[in-house]
Amino acid sequence: MKKTKKVLILGGGGFIGRNLAEELLKDRACSVTVFDAAPGGEAPAGGRYEFVHGNFLVEAELEKVFKGRRFDAVVHLVSTSLPAGSAQSEMVYDIESNLVSTIRLLGLMHKYKAPRIVFVSSGGTVYGLPDRESGEKGILETHATDPICSHGIIKLAIEKYIQMHGYLYGLKYLILRISNPYGEHHASEVQGLFNVALRRALAKEPVTVFGDGGNVRDFIYIKDCVKAVKALMDRNVAGEVVNVGSGTGLSVNEALGLVKEVAGGFRIKREPARRFDVRRAVLDISKLKALTGFQPTPVLAGLKNTYNWLIKERKCRH
């Protein structure tokens, strides 16, 4: 009989976590424990699921999930900051809540002999301003990392502490630099262009665009994203940093044009450009393809799936 792989998802009640739990539970040889400060909500299909309520920022609450349990892998999805959070007070909170809490997590993993971590970093902010060639062809994992916002700096610092624990203590790690995911179970009203714009279109509300709308981003459908994560985990990829994205770019204006095609028209509200927004950030995903054979869903198909889910969600709320 195949041994059950036990996975702990920290922040598993959120957007990526909910989708990842559903994907992992398709494998009957996998069990999932979710740790989250938000209410548990409806459990994904499958009986090998446990929800533990607790605050990642409180070490005693985090430790309780390790006591009496053994995990083959820990997926770290918790993040308390957004790329826009670059005020001085927000930077301090970013360090205290994300960096310090993750270092405590690494200590607990060492104490309770959890052998492997999968950390979801940021493909949009850790690289900073790409050089001209990378801006045109796509940013490789080997590109210089010079973040221009606190969010990216902290993500990068966490990467380095994880790699240090790999060297000092033998921790097996996989660092995923994910682009801009969109799709089902996305609840944020302020982050994620596609989901926010679709919600605004349904509500007949304006969509805010910062600058001229020419900034280019890499958007990945969440179902593709979690399939890629599971494929890497199934192959026991370790000691690697891997970009996870679609490998193609769309400007904000082009993205909103697709939203209009799917959901109908809406008004655009223009705001001044923001200093921390990189002009072009598209990931090179050749490494991901080589490791897993990954092929992204066409963006229009992913958008239609997302729109249909939003309509159902809207009906359930009303």
3-class DSSP state for residue 237? Answer: coil
* Average pLDDT estimate for 242-247: 98
CA distances from 142 to 21, 114, 127, 156 (A): 30, 28, 10, 13
Confidence at residue 217, expressed as pLDDT on a 0 to 100 scale: 95
Per-residue pLDDT, 188: 79
pLDDT for 185 equals 93
Average pLDDT for residues 232-252, to the nearest whole number? 97
The residue to which tokens 């092929």 are assigned: 295
Return d(Cα 270, Cα 207) in angstroms, integer: 8
Cα 198 from Cα 64, distance rounded (Å): 39
Q: In the predicted model, is pLDDT for residue 1 greater than 90?
A: no
Range with the poorest average pLDDT among 6-15, 79-88, 181-190? 79-88
Query: Token pair for residue 169?
Result: 């203590």
pTM of the complete model beyond 0.75: yes
Tokens encoding 263: 């959901």
Give residues with Cβ within 8 angstroms of 297, minimum separation 6: 221, 223, 224
CATH topology of domain 5-187+220-247+280-296: Rossmann fold (3.40.50)
Share of the chain above pLDDT 90, in %: 83
The CA distances from residue 247 to 135, 173, 235, in Å, are: 12, 23, 22
Residue 287 has pLDDT above 60, yes or no: yes
Q: Are 254 and 242 in contact (CB under 8 A)?
A: no
Which of 69-78, 151-160, 213-222, 267-276 is predicted with the least confidence, judged by mean pLDDT? Answer: 267-276
First vs last C-alpha separation in the chain: 46
Q: Sorting pLDDT into bands at 50, 70 and 90, what band is 190?
A: confident
- The model's pLDDT over 130-171, given as tens digits with 9 standing for 90+, comes to 988 888 899 999 999 999 999 999 999 999 999 999 999 999
- Residue pair 106/76 in contact (Cβ under 8 Å)? The answer is no
d(CA 93, CA 16): 23
Helices of type H across 112-214: 132-137, 150-169, 193-203
**Considering the chain, what is the average pLDDT of its residues?**
93
pLDDT of residue 163: 98
pLDDT at 85: 62
Q: Which helix (H) or strand (E) holds 170?
A: none
Q: In the predicted model, what is the mean pLDDT of residues 27-39?
A: 93
- In this predicted structure, the answer to whether residue 218 has a pLDDT above a threshold of 90 is yes
Average pLDDT for residues 286-315, to the nearest whole number?
95
In this prediction, residue 318 carries a pLDDT of: 62
| Residues 252/212, Cβ–Cβ less than 8 Å | no
